[in-house]
Amino acid sequence: MKIRIESTSKIITLVVGGKDVPARVWQGETDGGIPVQCFITRIAPEIPKSDPDIDELTAEFERDLKRQADPRPTVEAIPLRMIL
């Protein structure tokens, strides 16, 4: 399965191993057009240290990561039964 997602301004708390973990809600859709919600706790670029543009690419990634969409109404009401 492939999905395309975008960051939203919504943050929720997941319980993982008995501990609270903040997660940003990302929204998007599958290649087939089915809407999805993702709960992202960590994200990092995979830029090889040998890449001469590592600083520029890292800065670009950080700038892009700060952009956030307004969550769809269905994202605002996350069905907890759907969280693994």
Name the pLDDT band for 62 (thresholds 50, 70, 90). Answer: very high
> What are the start-end ranges of the H helices in the chain?
54-66, 73-76
- Expressed in angstroms, the distance from the first to the final Cα of the chain is 17
Distance of alpha carbon 72 from alpha carbon 9, whole angstroms: 11
64, 59, 8: which is closest to 35 by C-alpha? Answer: 8
- The domain spans of the chain are 3-78
43, 42, 35: which is closest to 78 by C-alpha? Answer: 35
Side chain identity, residue 39 = F
Condensed to tens digits (0 to 9), the pLDDT of residues 33-45 reads 999 999 999 999 9
Provide the whole-model pTM: 0.79
